[in-house]
Amino acid sequence: MGAYSQEVAAMPNSERRIWYQKNVYQMAKDFLLMALWRWKDGREKETDMKIGLIGHGAIAEYVSAQLAARGITPAVFLLRTPRALQGPDADVPQVTAAHLLPDGLDLMVDCAGHSGLSTHGSAILSQGIDLVSVSLGALADRTLQNTLEEAARRGGARLHLASGAIGALDCLAAARVGGLDEVTYVGRKPPAGWQGSPAEEVLDLDRLVTVSEHFAGNAREAAVQYPKNANVAAAVALAGAGFEATRVRLVADPGLTENIHEIHAAGAFGRFSFRIEGRTLPDNPRSSALAAMSVIAAIERQREVITI
């Protein structure tokens, strides 16, 4: 359309109107082609996004496979120690420290749990690299949260928290604006799901036959005492009333085969309850399928120009 501008601008008004009437369809076609080229260029830029992963456990393997389905190969794996990987990840470079990451990374994704975030998070953010993490429970440590915030400000980067194994966090965050009177998170798992946690000191998990509560307290206490099970409680706390004001109950239920997460909240907005029965990843019964999916959703929000 730029080629027409000078010629048309020099025309008398009457001739200009006639010209527009004759050329309106061509102008519309040119406009649509220009929009298509810009859209295609944007999609190509999205595909070229350079993403690295921290860890290579069950969630990282899921994320890598989902990225491959979207035409993206991880640019690097940040691992505690190098090791031989299988499949498409075999040829991906590996490093053992954040300062060894390649240049030009758009995003790092923490799939290594609390230790991955605490060990590498601040170094990544201070380099100006955005970071996605599902290890929300680690932020119960005030010192770590402050360190990550300072590193992000220093590097001009952002820490994006994936929602993990729970939903309704958008509703909870919106309700917080008007004021929350109470927020309670209830986590229910079969006894085997609490093995390796402080629940073993309270209950005989191998012989449990009745529904038994083994923890009641606030979200910070839950995150500190149950670090391997703390991400959901932390997500609810961060989205809503905060760690101290969020009440948590943890329950072992021998009648369950899946993990159940519940949120109950009340405030100026009204009242709501949310419940999800979550499944685990097929290859790892200790990893939430929805948590892994939420990482991909968080990555896609970084790639899209319209987000929800």
- For 174-195, write each residue's pLDDT tens digit: 999 999 999 999 999 999 999 9
Residues contacting residue 142 through CB under 8 Å, at least 6 positions apart: none
Which are the catalytic amino acids?
A: 261
Rounded to the nearest 10 degrees, the angle between the axes of helix 289-303 and helix 58-69 is: 40
- Percent of the chain scored above 90 by pLDDT? 77
pTM of the model: 0.81
The helix, strand and coil proportions of the chain, stated in percent and rounded to the nearest 5, come to 50, 20, 30
Q: pLDDT per residue over 125-174, tens digit each?
A: 999 999 999 999 999 999 999 999 999 999 999 999 999 999 999 999 99
Determine the average pLDDT of the residues in 16-33: 62
How many Å is the Cα radius of gyration of the chain?
Answer: 25
Domain residue ranges of the chain, discontinuous segments joined by +: 2-40, 51-161, 169-287
Give me the CATH code for the 51-161 domain, please. 3.40.50.720
DSSP annotation of 161 = E
- Take residue 214 and report the two structure tokens written for it: 């083994």
User: Topology of domain 169-287, per CATH?
Assistant: Dihydrodipicolinate Reductase; domain 2 (3.30.360)
Q: pLDDT per residue over 247-267, tens digit each?
A: 999 999 999 999 999 999 999
Which amino acid does the sequence have at 98?
A: A
Three-state helix/strand/coil letters over 47-80: HCCCEEEECCCHHHHHHHHHHHHCCCCCCEEECC
- Take residue 77 and report the two structure tokens written for it: 């794996």
